[in-house]
A and B are shown apart, each in its own frame.
Chain A
Amino acid sequence: MKQWERPFGRSKPETVKGEVKIVEDRCKGCGFCVEYCPCDVLELSDKFNKKGYHPPYAEKLEECTACKLCEMICPDFAIFVIEKEEEID
């Protein structure tokens, strides 16, 4: 099984990585995604969207494990995650 392969220099097992997509103009700045992201990837930005709210941005994108909780808890359908394709060497 792949999980057992731990080459030197790697401290963590390989996990699925996610890419957070934010439809900024749908956001109403409620902060649900920032609060409930289990890996604390998201942060509210200082900039304004079309409606005058502060949309989130992925501050620590490398932490994202594509659990998609933000996608589900966002009340405005403004955030979603796509699983990063594995890079094959």
Chain B
Amino acid sequence: MSNKKQHILEHPMDDLLRMDRIPHIWCPGCGLGSDVAAFADGLKRAEVDFDKVAVVSGIGCTGRVAGYIKLDSYHTTHGRAIPFATGLKLANRDLTVVVFSGDGDLFAIGGNHLIHAARRNLDINVICVNNFIYGMTGGQNAPTTPLGAYSSTAPFGNYEAPFNLVGITAAAGANYVARWTTVQARRLSQSIATAAKKKGFCFIEVVSPCATVFARKNKGGTGLDLMKEFRNRTVIDHKADPTQIPLTMDDEIVCGEFVNREDPTFWENVQNGIKDQVEKNADWEKIQSEKNKRLYKKTLKYEGSRDIG
């Protein structure tokens, strides 16, 4: 009997979660927990060494992910998860670095970092949970809030055109771009596994329900109602042009793996660039020493004639 009880407590994801911090702070009906479960499952599918995986988050609801995943995890400042992850990856190239953050964190305050990381094709994975709104601060407008949707700072409906996240990253040069909703948990997990093994900048957008603010502001019902709506609106089309599939209030949500290419990464390019130089500069130290000695002799004369006073 006692054996059975122990069994109940050991959830198969417990080894990847900080159980001393569960229950987490996310609301009932929020999709973030499901996304974390898909991430944990994806890592297991990819069969990577968990000790070599680092998770970096920014600020916000999704920013809290790092705190719940039992890996080397860093909870950084708002919007700066990607440059932080870049530093981690470049200083230890054996690591698999995953940035897990929200749409506001990655595309508003951190938008510049994201497009530049994609441009450099840095070998990091970015999982962007898109809930169309700023959840933690109380439902303010996000760069992804669809036109006409209501938020705390758009009381008359949003009048700013939103970003199409997959379009931006594909255009900026990412090696892998996918979009899923929380409902397609298995496909999402498969996508995360693919990204974990893939080189270069991998971007996965996860359309996720925010029950407490987005659904409430937009009369969307509960988290479950949003999930049902996502399911009804989802169309899976891997061949879709990522720049032509923005997310709106009512149109279909086109999901799939839109980009999957093998461009050389930042570090591969660095290695190619210095390959010749390393040989050419084998005796660089000596050359520099001699060159500088000559220069120095000249200036000694000059300095000698100067009145330092």
Q: Is B135 an interface residue (CB 8 A)?
A: no
Which residues of A (7-36) have their CB < 8 Å from a CB of B?
21-23, 26, 28-32, 35-36
A76, B227: Cβ atoms closer than 8 Å:
no
B208 to chain A minimum Cβ distance, whole angstroms, is: 10
**Residues in A neighbouring B41, C-beta threshold 8 A:** 72
In the bound complex, do residue B227 and residue A77 qualify as a contact, i.e. CB atoms below 8 Å apart?
no
Pairs across A and B, CB under 8 Å, 11 listed: A30-B222, A30-B223, A32-B34, A71-B37, A72-B189, A74-B33, A75-B34, A77-B17, A77-B22, A80-B13, A82-B7
**B-facing mask of A25-54, CB < 8 A → 1, else 0?**
010111110011000000000000001010
Whether A74 lies near B34 (C-beta < 8 A) is: yes
Q: Does B98 contact A (CB under 8 A)?
A: no
Q: List A residues at the B interface (Cβ < 8 Å).
A: 21-23, 26, 28-32, 35-36, 51, 53, 69, 71-78, 80, 82
Do A75 and B9 touch across chains, with their CB atoms under 8 A apart? no
Which 5 A-B residue pairings sit nearest by Cβ, starting from the closest? A75-B33, A28-B28, A72-B185, A30-B29, A75-B34
Residues of A within 8 A of B13 (CB): 71, 77, 80
User: Nearest residue in B to A81 (C-beta to C-beta)?
Assistant: B12
Contacts of B174 in A (CB 8 A): none
User: Is the C-beta of B122 less than 8 angstroms from some C-beta in chain A?
Assistant: no
User: How far is B12's CA from A80's CA once the two chains are assembled, in angstroms?
Assistant: 7
Residues of B contacting A51 in the complex (Cβ-Cβ under 8 angstroms): 23
B224, A30: Cβ atoms closer than 8 Å: yes
> How many residues of chain B are within 8 Å of chain A by beta carbon?
35
Q: Contacts A72-B37, A75-B31, A77-B13 hold; do A35 and B227 have CB atoms under 8 A apart?
A: yes
> How far does the alpha carbon of A22 sit from the alpha carbon of B17 in the complex, in Å?
17
Interface positions, chain B 8-37, Cβ under 8 Å from A, are: 8-9, 11-14, 17, 22-24, 26-34, 36-37
Task: Tell me the complex Cα distance, A71–B30, Å.
Answer: 15
Task: Please tell me if the beta carbons of A72 and B23 are within 8 angstroms of each other in the complex.
Answer: no
Contact (Cβ within 8 A) B224 A32: yes
Q: How far is the CA of A74 from the CA of B28 in the complex (A)?
A: 11
Question: In angstroms, how far is the closest chain B Cβ from the Cβ of A79?
Answer: 8
How many Å from the CB of B65 to the closest CB on chain A? 12
Given the known inter-chain contacts A28-B28, A76-B24, please indicate yes or no for A35 contacting B228, CB distance below 8 A.
yes
Cβ-based interface call for B186 (8 A):
yes
Contact at A73–B185, with CB atoms within 8 Å?
A: yes
Find out whether the CB atom of B28 lies under 8 angstroms from the CB atom of A77.
no
Interfacial chain A residues near B33, Cβ < 8 Å:
74-77
- CB of B32 within 8 A of CB of A76, answer no
Enumerate chain B residues within 8 angstroms of A71, measured Cβ to Cβ: 12-13, 37
Q: CB-CB < 8 A to B182: which residues of A?
A: 73
Contact for A69 among B7, B11, B22, B185, CB less than 8 A: B185
Given A23-B9, A26-B22, A72-B41, A31 and B34 contact (CB-CB distance below 8 Å): no
What is the chain A residue whose CB lies nearest that of B189? A72
Name the one of B11, B37, B38, B222 contacting A23, with C-beta atoms under 8 angstroms. B11
* B183 at interface by CB-CB < 8 Å: yes
With contacts A72-B189, A75-B30 taken as known, whether A31 is within 8 angstroms of B224 at the C-beta atoms is yes
CA distance A53 to B29 in the complex (A): 12
CA distance A29 to B33 in the complex (A): 13
State whether A36 and B7 are in contact (beta carbons under 8 Å apart), knowing that A26-B23, A74-B34 are contacts in the complex: no
